[in-house]
Amino acid sequence: MHGKIPPMIEITEELIDIGVNLTGSSFKKDLPAIIDRACSAGVTKMVVTGTNVQHSEAAIELCELWPDVLFSTAGVHPHHAKEWTDEAALKLSSIAGHSAVRAIGECGLDYNRNFSEPKDQRLSFEAQLELAADLQLPVFLHQRDAHKDFLNIIRRWRDKLPNGVAHCFTGHLDEAKAYLDLDLQIGVTGWLSDERRGHSLREAVKYIPLNRLMIETDAPYLLPRDLPVEMTAQLQARRNEPLVLPHVCLTLAKYKNMEVDEVARQTTRLAREFFSIEG
């Protein structure tokens, strides 16, 4: 069930998955096989998402095991904003100095379920933007149901930041335009394939210039709902993996009405520039 997956999507260009949660518990038992399957599918580089201090440290440990394949971010997700303390800030600043760390985040605002109070989210978010500005690292951004506050904060910091990406973007065209106006990049996932909830995203990607887009799986989350049966049969039930990224690329090409190799080429080029990944 978990052997190598034969190539089912022919893409000649290599791909970079800019957002994978490889430090999660669902990957502990078979991580080497997961990375091997991804590389075999043409996903040659992956950026491991740091969601709090502990997971940011764990991401670096993985990068040290696969130094030519894995890179990471270091940050505190808004769900964990209540964990932000002076001690956490010092630890994160130290972690961010590691050579594997290529961005600060995942940071931002999430008012959907408010696992942390909005005031704590805003404090943690601004502190991480300040850290990114000090270190001149790009930011890996999260926003859900907090568009107005998110924009107000980003506007205050944008001129001090080298770059930023709205990770796992699922919003409407107006939100995309606001991010583009702030010279942010946009990351898209298998949400594009969701026939129930992906309509606004599919309309937005038609407008977003290809040279402002990157692709990601956000594995183990957001498994595309329209995977080929042959690929689904190879996956652990309901668990997304980086090897699914070619399908995300193909879906984006469909809604951009472009050749899939061109979409792969440009999204990979931007990912290399954004995360300072050498060819």
Indicate which CATH number applies to the domain containing 53: 3.20.20.140
Kindly state whether residue 141 falls inside one of the protein's structural domains: yes
The pLDDT value recorded for residue 231 is 79
Kindly state whether residue 241 falls inside one of the protein's structural domains: yes
Kindly state whether residue 167 falls inside one of the protein's structural domains: yes
Of all residues in the chain, the percent with pLDDT exceeding 70 is 97
Kindly state whether residue 3 falls inside one of the protein's structural domains: no
Kindly state whether residue 154 falls inside one of the protein's structural domains: yes
Domain count, the chain: 1
Q: What is the pLDDT of residues 184-222, one digit of tens each?
A: 999 999 999 988 888 999 999 999 999 999 999 999 999
H or E element: which one contains 179? helix 173-181
Kindly state whether residue 175 falls inside one of the protein's structural domains: yes
CA 239 to chain centre: 16
The pLDDT value recorded for residue 8 is 59
The first and second tokens of residue 242, run together, are: 């980086």
Kindly state whether residue 195 falls inside one of the protein's structural domains: yes
Kindly state whether residue 19 falls inside one of the protein's structural domains: yes
Nearest-angstrom CA–CA distance, 15 and 119: 38
Q: What is the pLDDT of residues 16-45, one digit of tens each?
A: 999 999 999 999 999 999 999 999 999 999
The pLDDT value recorded for residue 279 is 74
Strands 101-110 and 139-144: parallel
Domain containing residue 158? 15-275
By the 10 Å C-beta count (0-12 exposed, 13-18 middle, 19+ buried), 29 is classed as exposed
107: nearest Cα among 167, 181, 183? 167
